[in-house]
Structures are given as structure tokens and as C-alpha cells.
Amino acid sequence: MAKINPCFRRIFVFFNVLFAIFGAVVLGLGLLVHLQLDEHESKLSAVVVLVVFGAVTFILAVLGAYGAQKENKNVLIAFFVFMCVGTIALLRMAIVMAISRPEVTSVMKQELNKAVPLDAASEDVKNAMDYIQKQVKCCGLFNGYQDWGNQVPESCDCGSDEADQCQKMTPRNTYLKIFEVRSRMVYSQPCGFMMLQYISLVFDVTLGVLFGFATLALLGGVMSLAMIICITAIPRPKCISSPPIFSVSPHPPKYSELIQSA
């Protein structure tokens, strides 16, 4: 039975050990977060995905390393099948996400526009917008402070040291313009565009991770297939015949030997 190249086997085992460590870390992190969020069931879906991903990565990595180290054909075949299934699943998810990305962005923009005017929105929306405006230093969704109507919150106010990010707020009502004591400066950057950019960044990172893991799964499948072929290959017998031997004697044969040979 043919043997796997030692250098090739060591490289395969090394990378599988790295992935096993990575899977164990992700699994431990997911379990730790699960214990911390034990009372918040609405947040457990992402934690479950994290735990399942870590566990599957760890098991497959250990399976591949064991099969390569022991040169076990059955284990390598199982690893190859899982890698093929994983590659197809990851590519399918990535392609669907890439195709639906413009539609998701458009739907998100429509949903954000439904919250305008913000002064008439629910308290949860107002609190969320207040937090975003303080952290990101923006105001409104897509039309700046005008999205708040006549009740622009203090979270839109910008300081004198942020003049390049500010604009003068002009009240809509005439009586407010007349009795306005001082000019109010608010952030000029709308929050909606920043939120859409953040969503696009999340899409880009997710697509990169999916395509990256799909490439690694495909590479692992190709390497395991090469080892399977190497293990199952039957060496060909060496059919090398010995060369003919001619004896050369300086003395001619005797007459009696010639008669006997004839």
C-alpha cells in the first residue's frame, strides 16, 4: 500500500490542528456568552449559531487530522464528503447574500423612512436615535434635523470645537424664528446614511468570511482526496528481466563436447 508524503501529511495535520484550536475557542466563547445571557432568550439565537459553528469546526478538524496522521482511508473519505457539503453550503449562502444585498439595503431604507417624523415615533425609536446620535455624532435619518420636526433633541447639538461637523438649525415655524434667542448648531451628517454604510460593511465582512471558509473547505477537500488516492493506489509490479549472460572462453571446445551438445 502506498504511503502519504510525510511533508504533505504534516502540513495537512498542522492546519487542521489550527482549525481545531480555532473551533475550540469559538465554542468556549459561545458557551461563555450563553451563560452570561441566560436570562435573555431573544439574544440566544446568535449564541447558538456560534456554538454550533465552533463545535462543527472542531470536530471536522480533529477528524481530518486523525485520518491523515493514521492514514485511515475511511476517515479521510468522511472528511472529504463533509468538506464538499460544507463548500456547497457556504457558497450557496454567500451567493444568495450577494444577490439579495441591494434588496435588503432598499428595504432597510424604506423601513427607516417610515419612522419619519421622529418626534411622532415611539419611545423606543426615539431612545435608539438619541443613543446613535450621541455616539456617531449625527442627526436625523436622511434629511438631518428636519426629520425631527419641531422637537429636535439635545443629542443633535454639536459643540464649538466641532464646527466642521455642524450646521445652523433654522426652525420651520415663523414665530420660532422671531423669538429665537440664539442660533442653534446641530450635526449636519444624517444618521441614516451612516447606518446603511454600516450595514454594507457587515455584508462585506460576512461575504468575505463565507467565501474565505468556502475556499479553505475546498482546499481541505482537494488535499484529503489526494491522500485518499495515494492510500488506495496499488503499486505496479516491477517487471525487469535479468540480462542474458554470454560466457566467453579463450579455449575452443573439444571435439567430444561438440558431439555431446549436438
Q: Map out the domains of the chain as residue ranges.
A: 6-105+204-232, 118-192
Cell of 87: 463548500
Map residue 167 onto helix, strand or coil.
strand
Is pLDDT larger for residue 129 or for residue 238?
A: 129
Compute the average pLDDT of residues 67-77.
89
Positive or negative, the Cα torsion across 13, 17, 23, 26? negative
Map residue 37 onto helix, strand or coil.
coil
Is pLDDT larger for residue 171 or for residue 243?
A: 171
Is pLDDT larger for residue 25 or for residue 164?
A: 25
For position 82, what pLDDT does the model report?
92
Cell of 29: 466563547
- The answer to whether residues 232 and 73 touch, using CB atoms and an 8 Å cutoff, is yes
Cell of 54: 465552533
Cell of 162: 466641532
Indicate whether 4 pLDDT > 80. Answer: no
For position 240, what pLDDT does the model report?
39
Compute the average pLDDT of residues 80-96.
91
Cell of 167: 450646521
Own/partner pairs for 7-10, CB < 8 Å, 24+ apart?
A: 8/223, 8/226, 8/227, 9/68, 9/69, 9/71, 9/227
For position 157, what pLDDT does the model report?
85
Classify residue 71 as left (phi > 0), alpha (psi -120 to 50) or beta. Answer: left
Report percent pLDDT > 90 for the chain. Answer: 15
- The answer to whether residues 81 and 110 touch, using CB atoms and an 8 Å cutoff, is no
Degrees, nearest 5: CA angle 199-106-123? 70
Average pLDDT value over all residues in the chain: 79
Distances from the Cα of 235 to the Cαs of 12, 28, 112, in angstroms?
24, 46, 68
Choice among 147-151, 161-165, 196-200 with the minimum mean pLDDT: 161-165
Choice among 55-64, 137-146, 184-193, 239-248 with the minimum mean pLDDT: 239-248
Map residue 171 onto helix, strand or coil.
coil
> What are the beta bridge partners of residue 187?
166
DSSP one-letter code for 244? P
| C-alpha distance across the termini of the chain, in Å | 51
Choice among 66-80, 140-154, 214-228 with the minimum mean pLDDT: 140-154
Indicate whether 180 pLDDT > 60. Answer: no
Is 118-192 CATH 1.20.1410? no
Q: b/e for 23-53, b at 16 or more Cβ within 10 A? A: bbebbeebeebeeeeeeeeeeeeebeebbee
For position 81, what pLDDT does the model report?
93
Map residue 185 onto helix, strand or coil.
strand
For position 183, what pLDDT does the model report?
67
Summarize the chain as % helix, strand, coil (round to 5): 70, 5, 25
For position 121, what pLDDT does the model report?
77
